[in-house]
Every structure is written in C-alpha cells, then in structure tokens.
C-alpha cells in the first residue's frame, strides 16, 4: 500500500491564481480530511469527507473547495489564491466515518507559497 499520497510536494502561485492539490489513499478509508499547518497554530481542519459524495466544512474552509467523487481521491481546490493561504497542507484518512478510535494517517504534505 502506498498509504496517503499528495501532489505536488511544492507549489508557488501568484495572487489570484487557482490550483488543485491532489490527495489519494489506497486503504479503502471512508474518512478523508484536509488540514493546513501554520507555525504556532498546530493543524487546522479545512474540509472533511465521510464518504464518496459527502463533504463538510471544518474550522477554516473559506477560500477552499473540495469534492469526493470516489473513495480514493479527495482534491482540495484553491479558488483564487491569497498570500494568507501560504501554508503546508496535509491530507489525512482513517478507516471509518465517525470512527472515533480510528487512527488518522497523513500524507507527506504540500508546501504552498502564494506571492
């Protein structure tokens, strides 16, 4: 199993540009989520999905869209990039939606810089 994979590893955007961060998992996990990591703030939840076709907002959803057309993929779209979205983005997955005891497994991250 490859686990959770993310592409690209690094990205530089100009203000106003749009892009999609890719996330895929091959563990047949129901639950997938996106976090952003900023210094001194830990990880903050952007969006999450409890299964194909079902998504919901997390703590910091503004400026981001997600969709979940398959169990495996959970892309994160930046609609119009802003410097405040400069961050490291992590995708994570766990086995069951609502599985409180399940471990979340993280991808390697995407480091995004918005100029």
Partner 1 sequence: AQSVAQPEDQVNVAEGNPLTVKCTYSVSGNPYLFWYVQYPNRGLQFLLKYITGDNLVKGSYGFEAEFNKSQTSFHLKKPSALVSDSALYFCAVRDGSGNTGKLIFGQGTTLQVKP
Instruction: List contacts with partner 1 (CB under 8 A).
Output: 4, 31, 33, 35, 40-45, 48, 50, 56, 58, 90, 92, 94, 96-109
Q: Using CA atoms, how far apart are residues 74 and 111, in angstroms rounded to an integer?
A: 17
Between residues 33 and 85, which has the closer beta carbon with respect to partner 1?
Answer: 33
Separation CA 47–CA 61 (nearest Å): 6
Least CB distance to partner 1 at residue 12 (A): 16
The closest of 100, 10, 21, 1 to 64, measured between CA atoms, is 21
* CB 43, min distance to partner 1, A: 4
Residue 41 CA to its chain's centroid (Å): 17
Token pair for 40: 């001194």
Nearer to partner 1, 56 or 80 (CB): 56
The residue among 14 and 98 lying less far from partner 1, judged by its C-beta, is 98
């Amino acid at each position: 199993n490859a686990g959770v994979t993310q592409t690209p590893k690094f990205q530089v955007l100009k203000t106003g540009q749009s892009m999609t961060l890719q996330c895929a998992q091959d563990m047949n996990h129901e639950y997938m989520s996106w976090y952003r990591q900023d210094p001194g703030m830990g990880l903050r939840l952007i969006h999450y999905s409890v299964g194909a076709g079902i998504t919901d907002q997390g703590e910091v959803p503004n400026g981001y869209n997600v969709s979940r057309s398959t169990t495996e993929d959970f892309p994160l779209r930046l609609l119009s990039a802003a410097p405040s979205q400069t961050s490291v983005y992590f995708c994570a997955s766990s086995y069951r939606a609502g599985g409180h005891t399940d471990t979340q497994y993280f991808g390697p991250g995407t480091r995004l810089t918005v100029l």
